[in-house]
Amino acid sequence: MAFYIASIIAILATIMVITRYNMIHALLYLVVSFLAVAVIFFMLGAPFVAALEVIIYAGAIVVLIIFVIMMLNLKEESVEQERKWFSKNIWIGPGILSLVLLGELAYILITSERVLLNNSVVDSKAVGMSLYGPYIIGVELCGLLLMAGIVGAYHLGRQRRKVVHRFLEKAEE
Amino acid sequence: MSPAIIVVCVLGGLLLVAPGLIWVERRLLAVWQDRYGPNRAGPLGLLVVLADTLKLFFKEDWIPPFADKKVFVMAPAIVVITVLMSFVIVPFSPGFIVVDLNIGLLFFLAMSSMGAYSIILGGWASNNKYSLLGAMRGAAQMISYEVFMGLSLMGVVLITGSFSLHDIVEAQRNMWFVVPQFLGFVIFLIAGIAETHRLPFDIPEAESELIAGFHSEYSGMKFGMFFVGEYIGIMLISCMVTCLFFGGWLGPAFLPPIVWFILKMFAFIALFILLRASLPRPRYDQLMEFGWKILLPLSLLNVMVTAAIILWNENPQ
């Protein structure tokens, strides 16, 4: 029962994310969607993943996106523009693709054997053991990717020091 | 005890104590600044709390016409909800805890990261330059200090081997974690002050430069919600420091456990107020620099050294 409530909330919220014109409102629905997914994870016996979903996705990433949108300070013009872009024709392409995916998913669900979830709780220790055991290569790759991201951000954010003086103006490295 | 009674006790206690803290803060500030403070209404000026609360309730509740109404109304509720939710995992004494989640600490971190939304949304929905500036400062501050907050707690988690706060308190029977994890304690305290955006880290609201920042458009009980949320936030951080580093309810047996917990909690609340009375506010870029250039390396070092010592103790060569 609780699972169905949470999943309906997740689906509704995600639909709202797509259909809102105002970006901040869309992002707020995205947060609700993440929270609902976290509840589903929790019920499926993965409390650690649920907590991380809230901390990282709902708590950090969406906050950063909102931060950027606030910096751009989009007002009514952007809402208008979104409304213009959001025409009927734009639905066709993604709609067909998602229908194909949905069909595929339904086919797989019907034909494959059903695996009952045994309600075993996967605690943080088990997550850590599998991450640093069989999946160590994935962790390392993520680390490399993040490192590259940090170096890139540093490069973009670097400021050239500029000496402002009446007589001599030179740009230092 | 049944969970329903505990929930009512915790909720009632928090909502009663939060306005009381206004009085505590004003009196203590007065003591440290060598003046009287509110001492006229009632015994020791205690009725000031009642007057303040009534005033907040009867103030005009105004929503600016240029604001985004739904978000504007929602923002103050978020801070109170998230902070109150965090109290779910605080063990006040053995057995007196709403739910003993095995991811207790992570739940606390998750809720405190959700708390950032109240500032961001409040500031954005006000549609006012000062509020927007305050909201952006608040967002940056809370996101960056969350990082060190989480990292500084990992030392405690490593020693205990559990995220459950009950287990963490029990693990401190021999020694409070403030001794082996002193660095973690200091970082957590600083990050906690920044999370609750209290002075000296109240740059999202900074009266003197941003005229109350993210809540300058709020009035009446909506402002009151931010206010109450802040005070409950102080209590939350004090509770967490008590549980994580100062042995929670543990103490000599002549006082019941819950009294020990409350005594320690109030000691930290007093520390928060003393910090407000004594420290100047840093500049915004200084705050960020201090966080990323000093606290982050220190907290990483803390985790590394703690983990190394634990490994060494497990199998010394």
Per-residue pLDDT averaged across A148-166, rounded? 79
pLDDT for res B317: 62
pLDDT of the residue at B282: 82
Mean pLDDT of all residues in B100-105 = 80
The pLDDT assigned to B148 comes to 85
Tokens representing A94 are 């993604």
Measured in angstroms, the CA of A101 and the nearest CA of chain B are apart by 33
Picking from A121-125, A169-173, B20-24, B168-172, which range would have the lowest pLDDT averaged per residue?
A169-173
> What domain range includes position A127?
2-171
Helix A23-43 × helix A62-72 angle, to 10° = 180
User: Is the pLDDT at A171 greater than 60, yes or no?
Assistant: no
Q: What is the pLDDT of residues A124-133, one digit of tens each?
A: 778 888 888 8
Which position has the higher pLDDT, A85 or B278? B278
Rounded CA-CA distance B210/B133 in Å is: 8
Chain B residues with beta carbon closer than 8 angstroms to that of A22: 68
Q: Which residues from chain B sit within 8 angstroms of residue A55, using beta carbons? A: 106, 109-110, 113, 150
Using beta carbons and an 8 Å cutoff, which residues of A are at the interface with B?
Answer: 22, 24-25, 28, 31, 47-48, 50-52, 54-55, 58-60, 63-64, 66-67, 70-71, 73, 121, 123-124
Q: Which residue of A has its CA nearest to B69?
A: A25
pLDDT of residue A167: 65
Residue A115's domain is classified under what CATH number? 1.20.120.1200
Mean per-residue pLDDT, B34-55: 81
CA distance B280 to chain A (A): 27
Per-residue pLDDT of B175-184, as tens digits, reads: 888 778 888 8
Output the CA torsion sign for A21, A23, A25, A27: positive
Cβ–Cβ gap B102/A52 under 8 Å: no
For A56, which residue in chain B has the nearest alpha carbon?
A: B110
Interface contact flag, B139 A67, Cβ < 8 Å: yes
Question: What's the whole-number mean pLDDT along residues B107-122?
Answer: 85
Which of B129, B170, B149, B306 lies closest to B241, judged by CA?
B149
Write down the pLDDT at residue B32.
85
Percent of chain B having pLDDT more than 90? 0
Q: Which of B161, B105, B302, B164 is nearest to A128 (CA)?
A: B161
Q: Report pLDDT for A118.
A: 63
Q: How far is A169 from chain B (nearest CA, A)?
A: 26
Q: Do B121 and A67 touch (CB under 8 A)?
A: no
Domain range summary for chain B, segments of one domain joined by +: 64-314
pLDDT at A151: 92
Of A22, A47, A63, the CB nearest to B120: A63
Looking at the 3D structure of chain A, how many domains does it have? Answer: 1
CB contact under 8 A, B135 and A64: no
Contact B114 A58 (CB under 8 A): yes
For the question of an ipTM over 0.85, the answer is no
Answer for the pair B228, B65: CB distance below 8 angstroms, yes or no: no
The partner residue sitting opposite B124, judged by closest CB among A24, A55, A123, is A24
B131 to chain A, minimum CA–CA distance in Å? Answer: 11
- Is B132–A123 a contact, with Cβ atoms under 8 angstroms apart? no
- The pLDDT tens digits for A61-83 are 888 888 888 777 666 677 777 77
pLDDT tens figures, A95-150: 899 899 999 988 888 887 766 666 677 777 788 888 888 889 999 999 999 999 98
Q: Is the pTM value of this prediction over 0.95?
A: no
What is the pLDDT, as a whole number, of residue A169? Answer: 59
pLDDT confidence tier of residue B8, bands split at 50, 70 and 90: confident
Closest CA to B213 of B139, B288, B111: B139
* pLDDT tens by residue, B201-232: 877 777 777 777 777 778 778 888 888 888 88
Rounded to a whole number of angstroms, the distance from the CA of A67 to the nearest CA of chain B is 7
- Asked if B177 and B188 count as a contact pair (C-beta separation under 8 A), the reply is no
Nearest Cβ partner for B143 among A51, A60, A73: A60
Q: State the pLDDT at residue A97.
A: 92
How many Å apart are CA A117 and CA A3, to the nearest integer? Answer: 13
Write out chain B residues lying below 8 Å of A54, CB-based: 110, 113-114
Residue B106 with chain A: CB contacts under 8 Å: 48, 51-52, 55, 124
B175 to A105, B50, B197, B246, B254: CA distances (angstroms):
55, 42, 31, 9, 19
Measure B137 CA to nearest chain A CA, in Å.
Answer: 10
Determine, for residues B124 and A66 on separate chains, whether the beta-carbon distance falls below 8 Å.
Answer: yes
- In this complex, which of B136, B150, B163 lies closest to A71 when CB atoms are compared? B136
List, in sequence order, every beta strand (DSSP E) within B31-128. none
Distance CA A97, CA A104 (A): 11
Q: What is the pLDDT of residue A162?
A: 65
Contacts of A60 in chain B (CB under 8 A): 113, 143, 146
Could you tell me which residues are beta bridge partners of residue A163? A170
Q: Is A124 in contact with B103 (Cβ distance < 8 A)?
A: yes
Q: Note the pLDDT tens digit of each residue in B262-303.
A: 888 888 888 888 888 888 888 888 888 888 888 888 888 999
Grade residue B57 by pLDDT with cuts at 50, 70 and 90: confident
Q: How far is B140 from chain A (nearest CA, A)?
A: 8
Given a cut of 80, whether residue B67 has pLDDT beyond it is no
